[in-house]
Amino acid sequence: MGEATQAGDEFLDSAELYDAIYSFKDYAKECERLRAIINVAAPGAKTLLDVACGTGSHSQFLKKYFKVDGIDRNEDYLRAARRKNPAGHYRRADMTGFDLGATYHAITCLFSAIGYVGTVERLGRAIAVMARHLAPGGVLIVEPWLTPDRWQIGTQTINGGELSDGKVVRLALSGREGNLSVIALHYLRSNQTSIRHYVERMELGLFTRDEMTRAFTDAALDLDVRYDDKGLIGRGLYIARLRS
């Protein structure tokens, strides 16, 4: 086994790794829940933008009901999303500053990707940009990261999955620096001849319910927001509708 490789190695940015580590997620079930929410909040919705879409695993189920496009900062993820939803338009962009020249009946930002903005100021920018891409009567659905009071230092988790040439396991240890949750990640990737060790550091902003709600209310005067404490996987959902 070789020396640990720091984040930036192309393996850590690969769609295959992402899908292997998160193979436990029930994307089909989550998308049925999302469909029900959209049908109530924006009846007749036909178009959907998935912000921070990752590898397109939500898209491959949502495409049955909506014309789905997406944005993400990771080009390898975008290539995977295009394979899963060839009819969609997937572009490389940052969630805090994009302009697609189009509006959508529904916009989603899922699996706590909003936490990657890091600060309250960038949170506000991201929600405002998403709101500007909503069609009248459209709905914006954001799945938050954990609130500061729910974040626990010292939590250890392990996930694993199958790769095309072997297996991968990931051990995570939680820490905190101010209002940032900091997660130390160690990966072991094996094939028939070797095991390699990779190291990554993940940072996500810890936002209170008030900070999240304020980001929506500041984004647009005609944006009605409510909080669903159940959400898709127990992290809650912010559901905001742009008045017609």
pLDDT number for residue 182: 98
CATH class of residue range 25-147+207-242: alpha beta
Amino acid of residue 1? M
The CA distances from residue 90 to 61, 99, 105, 110, in Å, are: 16, 13, 17, 16
pLDDT number for residue 4: 52
The model's pTM is 0.96
Residues 6+ apart with CB under 8 A from 210: none
Taking residues 125-133, report their average pLDDT: 98
List the one residue out of 83, 51, 85 whose CA is nearest residue 65. 85
H or E segment at 31?
A: helix 27-41
Pairwise CA distance, residues 162 & 157, whole Å: 18
pLDDT of 190 higher than 70 = yes
Q: Kindly list the domain boundaries of the chain, sorted by start residue.
A: 25-147+207-242
SS3 category, 170 = strand
pLDDT number for residue 88: 98
